[in-house]
Amino acid sequence: MSVFHLIIFICFLLSISYLVFLTSASWCPPSAFPQQTTRQFEQRTDRFWEFQEESNIWVEVKLPFDLVSCVNDNCTKVGLIDQTSKTEEEHLANGKDVSNKTKNLKMREGDLTGLEENSYTVLPLRRRMSLTKMSDTSVWVTGESGSIYERFWNGVQWVIAPHDLQISAGRAVSVLIVNQTIFAISEEGNLYQMKLSDWVELKPAFNQSTNKEAEQSSVIQMKSGTVSYDGLRVYFCTKTGLLLELSEVEPPRWENHGRPPGADVAAIADMARIRTDVVYTISSTGDLYEYDKSSRPSWKKHLQSEETDKDGSLVPLQGCMIYGLSGDHSVSLFLLTKGGKLVERRLHQRKWKWITHGSPEDHHLTSITPLLEDELKERFFSLFLTTSTGSVFEYQIPKHLGTAQEDQISEAWQNHMHPPNAKAARGIPGLKFQLGRILFALDDGRLAELHLPGLGGQNSGPTNQFNRKKLSSKYIWSILDAPESEGWNGEYCTEERGPMNCIAGIKDEPNDSGNIRSLTRRRKGTKAQQDYLSLGTPRSRLVKASEEYRFPDNWINTSFRLRLVQAGVSFFIITEAGLIFEYLYTESVWLWLRHDHSTPMRGALGNYNGSVFFVDVYGTLLIRERSNNELAWINCTAMRKGRQIIGGPPWDGMSGKLKVTAEDALFFVSKSGRLLQFSVALRKFKWKDCRNPPETKLACIIDQEVFRENIVFVVGRNGRLYQYNKVTELWHEHHQSQHLVLSRLPGTAMRPSFFSLTGSLFMLSEDGGLVEYHWNAWNGWNWVEHGTPSKDVTLVAPPSPCIKGNQLFLIGSDGNIYLRYMDQLIWRWKNCGFPQNGDGDTRDQTEMGANDRMQEVCMDNDPTANLDINLENPNDQNRKCDPKVAPTRPIPFSEDSVIFELRDGRLAEIQKVQDSKWVWQRVIGTPTSSCKGSYLTGQERRRFGGCCWSELEPLSCLDFSSPRLCRSFFRPPITL
């Protein structure tokens, strides 16, 4: 048989075997395979994880956990994961020691008190935070918002001084201090030098002899910098991977050291103290390089061993250099791997070696805190490292001549956890500014000090003398507030004489009441206010009150019927039928302008840079803006990630505060009760879902960045107060007594000035009383219940805008408006009635004697203002006028006037003539009001009432001479 025939025969046999296999497989009865429909889910573990798309991480859930299915924001429970019934012995038999797992989370000297249920949550990376020491009395900080501030000891207390870059420079990411010269690196990679309290851009300039790889100064962008140990030079790594050196500041002297062959410089690990020209860098691929300008070649690569390769490549970040760990001439460089392990590159007896120190069990290390010079005299070295979940560990390394430490690693890790209800920022090194005192940046924007008892804290200044032998080895935490730019309550220092002075503090002097405020006075309720609600905490069960609450049908219309566009010039009104009218003053004439849209509107939710944001009956967010010489509508809900909304910010910013930045955004509440951020700066419209606090949906926004920069205060549908930090993206629940339930209406922020954070949020309670949430630097947060003006009157509408930092209008159930104002540090009520009543008791009412409250009527000096024009034609039966005030949220019209809506559809303006004396200025007839009466002077009557439509069709209103005025709309927008 030939080879060809043999091959044909083998192929024939294989084909028959394959056919037999297929046939036998088809003969298998169906019962041979298990039915998938009969299989049941068998839970064999108590640990489950949920993937968070927003943060792109896995988060461990707490059992029992509801399995929820959501379709178009309609969520239903479809299952439940509960704890298994296995005993601890069964877990031990399977090698799962639950008790040991719990013990690993405990501090060596404490228990799990205060441990949050989201302890396993991996924190986001805060890329702009940094800490830099200038001296024992000065620490410079860059916050996650890109701000720069200094924490300075003025001799009496710690104060905070702002040093922000100019708006055009963008956000700061780090600060460097070289021989008392201060540099800052912006997020765009530009370098700035502080000169006479101003930031001046410093561009690198190289000599012609610099090697050809040097880039032009116009395109060099800095990534990070490190100051040498002698404090005379600074090294930078650029975004393109170059190593630069600034050896002299005045005049600047730059050197370009290039990059390693075939690699780049992603981070500067350290600079040795003995050999000042040696710099250790880490590439973006995780390799360690050594640069020595005096050797040839200048760049040397440190190869990793097989043991270190198992833990992954190095993380490009700053390490820590220690001398004398294994002998007088030994050098150790501690670094971190991408696997979260601590490794050491050690030079001893002219030989390099790698040593792996590992990490605490179930923890991933993310940063190393460098040592202090004074610590080199101790018997052992302590490295402080932060983890990806916000804890701080101390790794103790005793001094010895040997090289083996494996037998001591298990006892070397000490867990200092984190401050109560706060986490250390991931990947941000701490700052040791004194022996026994370490500063850490917190994930929520604040600072925390880990210190020995008696050596640190908020009220402890620099300590120069202490007995080392008597120092305790147990560290404690102290939380330090950050300035307003980071969304917290740290006030900036002032130039005024006193304890808050930026240069030299002076102790408190007695105030008018003879009391002395103590600097060490403890804030009331401070601990309760530090609870943060992580977005990673999985919650699916909503509070019953949240589900049961239903908004009235006209909730949007009454809360957002009126909107100011330009003070004293233009505002909008939305009628109950959904029509949009603008009351506009142009060329010495007041007129009405109608803005048509295909769908009826429900409210005007915001005003930004000449554009007004409306919501229609379907919850669609629309922008009315000028497009060239025409007016245009923009559908925001139709954009990517757009949602249907029910509410927005009550005010468009504090009166007189014109600040337009590249991060400007408006916040809205979706129909599903989530907080939505809509970016509007530079017309780069973008939606972002900020979600909602656990266990509650949102009802309304109380304040957006008027009371606190970067903070949005909201009320949940459970009647409780929350805040959202748009920088850290964290939710915070404010302490609130159980009996106090807030109404689901917008509120008002009140601050005496821009320079002080002292102020209040004013809201209504569910039973119609006025509630104040007050903050000052001495007592912290406190609730104050103002009640109602009298026993038979409740408050029925959101508060008015704040006037002069101490006056507020409220609308009563009797149709009168009431002024709540402060007179000589005492809150008083005053009844300002409504435009047509001139009777009333003019006696003041203080907080004392609340059961017999009297009212003071705001009298109008113009006797004709109280005359009912309708009486001119008493036989006219078509006139339906009710001059009492309607429960509609009022709006400011100028710094000293407020616009109210009357029950008959007209508008009324009240104006301040003295400190607390208000008069009704006029009543404005509207195109849809059934009452045409108005209180105007003769000149105003000749000009008032001009009505026009967008189609320029005249109405049956008072004539106006120039129809072209109807084409006027907004003033030109601000150009960034």
- Give residue for tokens 């983890």: 387
Residue 16 has pLDDT above 80, yes or no: no
Q: What is the largest CA-CA distance in the chain?
A: 130
CA–CA dist 517, 514 (Å, integer):
10
Q: Is the dihedral of CA 409, 411, 416, 417 positive or negative?
A: positive
pLDDT classification of 870: cutoffs 50, 70, 90: very low
Burial of residue 35, with CB atoms counted within 10 A of its CB: 0-12 exposed, 13-18 middle, 19 or more buried:
exposed
The pLDDT of residue 694 is: 86
The pLDDT of residue 855 is: 40
Structure tokens at 250: 């005045």
CA–CA dist 132, 802 (Å, integer):
40
Mean pLDDT across 397-420: 70
Mean pLDDT across 428-436: 92
The pLDDT of residue 372 is: 80
Residues in CB range of 623: below 8 A, 6 or more apart: 611, 612, 613, 614, 633, 634, 636
Structure tokens at 619: 């919850």
Mean pLDDT across 879-894: 91
pLDDT classification of 829: cutoffs 50, 70, 90: very high
Distance from chain centroid for Cα 427: 19
pLDDT tens, residue by residue, 36-60:
444 555 666 777 878 876 667 787 7
- Nearest Cα residue to 385 out of 364, 410, 397, 368: 368
For the whole model, what pTM was predicted?
0.81
pLDDT tens, residue by residue, 901-945:
999 999 999 999 887 789 999 999 999 888 865 443 333 333 333
The verdict on residue 566 lying in a domain is no
The pLDDT of residue 265 is: 97
Distance from the first to the final alpha carbon of the chain: 91
Residue 314 has pLDDT above 60, yes or no: yes
CA–CA dist 716, 673 (Å, integer):
8
Contact 222, 238 (CB under 8 A): yes
DSSP states along 538-578? ---PPPHHHHH----TTHHHHHSSEEEEETTTEEEEE-TTS
The pLDDT of residue 330 is: 86
Amino acid sitting at position 955: L
The verdict on residue 382 lying in a domain is no
R_g over Cα of the chain: 34
Contact 291, 265 (CB under 8 A): no
The verdict on residue 442 lying in a domain is no
Residue 138 has pLDDT above 80, yes or no: yes
CA–CA dist 831, 795 (Å, integer):
13
Structure tokens at 36: 């998938």
Reading phi first (left if > 0) and then psi (alpha if -120 to 50, else beta), residue 120 is in alpha
CA–CA dist 694, 691 (Å, integer):
9
Q: Does residue 251 have a cis bond before it (omega within 30 degrees)?
A: yes
Contact 914, 586 (CB under 8 A): no
- What three-state secondary structure class fits 377? helix
Domain assignment of residue 894, given as a range: 813-836+881-936
Sheet with 698-704, side-by-side order of all strands: 532-533, 730-733, 721-725, 711-716, 698-704
pLDDT classification of 533: cutoffs 50, 70, 90: low
- Nearest Cα residue to 423 out of 386, 456, 459, 395: 386
Average pLDDT, the chain: 79
Going from the C-alpha of 840 to that of each of 858, 865, 917, the distances in angstroms are 9, 16, 15
H or E segment at 631?
Answer: strand 630-635
Structure tokens at 240: 């393109």
SS (H, E, C) 907-959: EEEEEECCCCCEEEEEEECCCCCCCCCCECCHHHHHHCCEEECCCCCCCCCCC
Lowest mean pLDDT among 109-123, 290-304, 486-500: 109-123
Mean pLDDT across 847-859: 40
The pLDDT of residue 933 is: 56
CA–CA dist 43, 14 (Å, integer):
46
Residue 367 has pLDDT above 90, yes or no: yes
- What three-state secondary structure class fits 56? coil
The pLDDT of residue 674 is: 97
Q: Is the dihedral of CA 715, 716, 719, 722 positive or negative?
A: negative
CA–CA dist 192, 703 (Å, integer):
35
The pLDDT of residue 325 is: 81
Most confident of 110-114, 275-279, 327-331, 586-590: 586-590
Q: Over the range 310-326, which residues count as b (16 or more CB within 10 Å of their CB) and which as e?
A: ebbbbbbbbbbbbbebb
Distance from chain centroid for Cα 194: 28
Amino acid sitting at position 823: D
Give 443 or 348, the one with higher predicted confidence.
443
Give 113 or 645, the one with higher predicted confidence.
645
Burial of residue 564, with CB atoms counted within 10 A of its CB: 0-12 exposed, 13-18 middle, 19 or more buried:
buried
Other CB atoms within 10 Å distance of the CB of residue 612: 25
Residue 758 has pLDDT above 90, yes or no: yes
Lowest mean pLDDT among 110-124, 254-268, 349-363, 878-892: 110-124
The verdict on residue 922 lying in a domain is yes
The pLDDT of residue 400 is: 64
pLDDT classification of 472: cutoffs 50, 70, 90: low
pLDDT tens, residue by residue, 693-705:
988 999 999 999 9
Q: Over the range 139-164, which residues count as b (16 or more CB within 10 Å of their CB) and which as e?
A: bbbbbbbbbbbbbbbbebbbbbbebb
Burial of residue 230, with CB atoms counted within 10 A of its CB: 0-12 exposed, 13-18 middle, 19 or more buried:
exposed
Share of the chain above pLDDT 90, in %: 53
pLDDT tens, residue by residue, 611-640:
999 999 999 999 999 877 788 999 999 999
Most confident of 102-116, 513-527, 576-590: 576-590
Residues in CB range of 14: below 8 A, 6 or more apart: none
**∠ at Cα 437 (435, 439), nearest 5°?**
135
Give 652's strand partners.
none
The verdict on residue 908 lying in a domain is yes
CA–CA dist 690, 728 (Å, integer):
11
The verdict on residue 323 lying in a domain is no
CA–CA dist 154, 157 (Å, integer):
6
The verdict on residue 912 lying in a domain is yes
Burial of residue 8, with CB atoms counted within 10 A of its CB: 0-12 exposed, 13-18 middle, 19 or more buried:
exposed
Amino acid sitting at position 325: L
The verdict on residue 721 lying in a domain is no
Sheet with 570-574, side-by-side order of all strands: 562-566, 570-574, 580-586, 589-595, 946-948
Contact 269, 318 (CB under 8 A): yes
H or E segment at 267?
Answer: strand 267-271
Domain count within the chain = 1
pLDDT tens, residue by residue, 324-335:
887 778 889 999
Residue 105 has pLDDT above 50, yes or no: no
The pLDDT of residue 571 is: 96
